[in-house]
Amino acid sequence: MKPNMDQNRVYYLRRIYFDYRLTVQVSFDEHSRFESLERNRVSNISFVVSSAGEVFILGIMIGILRAVKSDVSVENNTMAFSVLLAFSGGIWCSFPRQFT
């Protein structure tokens, strides 16, 4: 799966390659390495954003567990489990999906 941002990045890289090639001789291997590094950069940025969002959501989930006092009794634990399932389901459904 290639995100749209990656596709736009490939166009940008090709344009840079052809502009740069007019002034300086660049081998195909050098350009391939540069393109690979740029694709990795896009992947790393998306991983960091995703991880930050995950840490934020997990913090909210811990807050829910503390607020419901899940460690007091079995009933509170069951209620906390239900609330966490509803919260995580709501978060999961709120993210847009791209079907390819």
Q: Which domain holds residue 49?
A: 4-94
Q: Which stretch of 21-25, 36-40, 42-46 has the lowest confidence by average pLDDT?
A: 21-25
- As a whole number, the mean pLDDT across the chain is 79
pLDDT level of residue 42 (50, 70, 90 thresholds) = confident
Residue 85 lies in a domain: yes
Residue 100 lies in a domain: no
Share of the chain above pLDDT 90, in %: 29
The structure's pTM equals 0.60
Distance of alpha carbon 82 from alpha carbon 65, whole angstroms: 11
Provide the domain count of the chain: 1
Residue 30 lies in a domain: yes
Distance of alpha carbon 74 from alpha carbon 51, whole angstroms: 32
Residue 79 lies in a domain: yes
Residue 19 lies in a domain: yes
The answer to whether the CB of 84 falls within 8 A of the CB of 61 is yes
pLDDT at 84 over 90: yes
pLDDT level of residue 62 (50, 70, 90 thresholds) = very high
Q: Could you tell me the sign of the dihedral formed by the alpha carbons of 60, 42, 44, 92, in that order?
A: positive
Q: Which residue type does 93 have?
A: C
Query: Tokens representing 85?
Result: 């399932």
Could you write out the DSSP letters of every residue in 4-58?
HHHHHHHHHHHHHHHHHHHHS---HHHHHHHHHHHHHHHHHHHHHHHHHHHHHHH
